[in-house]
Amino acid sequence: MLLKIDKSFGVSAVKNRHEENMPKNQGELFMSTTLADKEKTLLQVNEFVNEPFTDFSQPANKKAMEEAIKTVRLSLGKEYPLVIGGKDVKVGGDNWIISTNPSKPDEVIAKFAKADQKLAEEAINEASIAFESWKKVPYTERVQYLFKAAEIMRKRKHELSAWLILEIGKSWAEADGDVAEAIDFCEFYGREMLRLGQAQPLTPYANEKNKLHYIPLGVGVVIPPWNFPLAILVGMTTASIVAGNTIVLKPSSDTPAIAYQFVKIMQEIGLPKGVINFLPGPGASVGDYLVSHPKTRYIAFTGSKEVGLRINEMAAKTQPKQIWIKRLIAEMGGKDGIIVDNDADLDSAAEGIVAAAFGFQGQKCSACSRAIIHQDVYDKTVEKIVEKAKKLVVGDPQDNNNFMGPVASKSAYESILKYIETGKKEGHLLLGGNAIKTNANGYFIEPTIIADVDPKAKISLEEIFGPVLSIIKAKDWQHALEIANNTEFGLTGAVYTKNRSHLDQASNDFHVGNLYLNRKCTGALVGVHPFGGFNMSGTDSKAGGKDYLLLFTQAKTVSEKV
């Protein structure tokens, strides 16, 4: 039976889905529907609409978040197991990965059992066993797990945000956006599987019955980053399993606690054992072992260029008894620039630059780390940027009045401060440039702006991944575009101009996977801005787009003589 997405509910119905007399979301529908009615329910799936962000200016929302933080704080410091084949696996001795609060490094968020290569082997084997049955589960049933997970995350949005605030230092708004994106991935990929799960249209041919359908790849290794430790983890994981694959999930050692919250949700909704195997462990031993394993069919990775290239090299080497070419789905960061032309709205440009440079402490692969400004408006634009950045408040993100929190870890803190010292020699320090000392020794750094930077300077070309903005003067429009393209990366970029021909040229010649015109270069939305970059920014995976699930499948054609 062909499944058709019913758009009769319309966007307005979905936006108001929590109001009385409005259609339930898909998770609620599946939770309340009998097995006999599941397929019928799928025929009435709502059109995808992005999860709305929480308005914390509303007293009720503010109070709910404050209570969620208090609740999560009561769970801090606990010990958690690995999950292999649906079973909790505890590791004795001192083999723990300890997650701490970057605002208060002495505060332990959680302790996680640390896997070794023996346990990695066990996890791969359990995933392989589970794959034999999971791949046969109808795609209409696999989709239901995603919709159910989305509904639980929606109900626990503030609790999940609280984990992000405490474990990795996200502000309320950034944490809420992370959770909303995770919900979006579940909802979007569920709907995409309903589209791709059907037999695909082919050209008719006399006396033959032909069919093309997508089948899963096999066992995947999912390696998410610490900066979007729920959204990106959920995106790579749900894309994997809804397509029929099973996975070994190796979370970042900086953010295993929020990863475990998602694993618990998937257990709660009854996902079969072994479909997701949770395996915190060192990248240099466990990560390498998983990537190199002959049973690993693909790797979904988001992280640094250096680690991504290492994974690419290891995955490309054929192991004994390996019967396939491994697939790598990688997003590896960027060195993103915003161009300000001489006819741009300077207030809008300055606002976009500051938001994109310093949101979540500049720890986004899409963050604006370079402002490339036409010489005619350089001084005026720089003045506006500095003026706006001076107003940013830095502090513990448990307080919603703070725009910026700490950077992720001691190693990130030290690396960023070294880049700032280099930047002081390569340009003129206009703002910040210092660590912020706190009683709790948190990893806080001032928003830092360095002007008059040479396009080929170290801080202009290398990814810093912190609250550091380099400002570069361009002689004219063409020069600005040349500077924007002079890095090895190609993830995001933006242009502020009123010149239509310049916008058109940028659309063709600004070599990034995600280009934004007259808006900031961060804030990609699932389904709206399919996300992924060129060159050393990765494999242009286009997460949150209609091509993404194809990366986790392979097409099979069946032809029958009739």
The CATH number linked to 475 is 3.40.309.10
My answer on whether 294 and 366 are in the same domain is: no
The region, left, alpha or beta by phi > 0 then psi within -120 to 50, assigned to residue 540 is: left
Average pLDDT over residues 298-310: 98
Terminus-to-terminus CA distance in the chain, angstroms? 21
- Rounded to two decimals, the pTM is 0.93
In this structure, the answer to whether residues 327 and 342 fall within a common structural domain is no
- Identify the domain containing residue 369 by its residue range: 336-525
Tens digits of residue pLDDT in 264-291: 999 999 999 999 999 999 998 999 999 9
Region 149-162: what's the mean pLDDT? 98
Q: Which residue has the tokens 């429009």?
A: 477
CATH number at residue 68: 3.40.605.10
Q: CA-based diameter of the chain, in Å? A: 79
Cα-flanking dihedrals φ and ψ of residue 96, to 5°? -125, 145
- With respect to residue 393, please indicate whether it lies within any of the assigned structural domains: yes
The whole-angstrom separation of Cα 214 and Cα 286 is 31
Residues 323 and 390 occupy one common structural domain = no
User: Does residue 105 register a pLDDT over 70?
Assistant: yes
Q: Return the residue matching tokens 């015109």.
A: 517
DSSP at 115 = P
Share of the chain above pLDDT 90, in %: 90
d(CA 120, CA 296): 11
* Segment 248-272 mean pLDDT: 98
Which among 516, 123, 183, 128 is positioned nearest to 336, based on CA atoms?
516
Q: Which residues are known to be catalytic?
A: 331, 365
Tens of pLDDT, residue by residue over 424-438, are: 999 999 999 999 999
Average pLDDT for 433-454: 97
Task: Kindly report, residue by residue over 366-380, the tens digit of the pLDDT.
Answer: 999 999 999 999 999
d(CA 530, CA 202): 26
Tens-place pLDDT, residues 46-70: 999 999 999 999 999 999 999 999 9
Band (pLDDT 50/70/90 cuts) for residue 45 is confident
Hey, is 451 helix, strand or coil? strand
With cut-offs at 50, 70 and 90, classify the pLDDT of residue 485. Answer: very high
The answer on 411 and 443 residing in a single domain is: yes
Euclidean distance between CA atoms 176 and 157, whole angstroms:
7
Residues with Cβ within 8 Å of 95's Cβ and at least 6 positions away in sequence, in order, are 113, 114, 116
Compute the distance between CA of residue 157 and CA of residue 123 in angstroms, rounded to an integer. Answer: 30
In a domain, 16, yes or no: no
The amino acid present at 131, given as its one-letter code, is F
Q: Give pLDDT, residue 293.
A: 98
Are residues 278 and 346 both part of a single domain?
A: no
133 within a domain of the structure (yes/no): yes
Q: What are phi and psi of 455, to 5 degrees?
A: -55, -25
Domain match, 345 and 279 both = no
Which of 290, 299, 308 is closest to 217 using CA atoms?
A: 299
Q: Looking at the structure, do residues 381 and 403 belong to the same domain, yes or no?
A: yes
Q: Among all chains, which residue has been given the structure tokens 């079973």?
A: 87
Determine the pLDDT at residue 26: 56
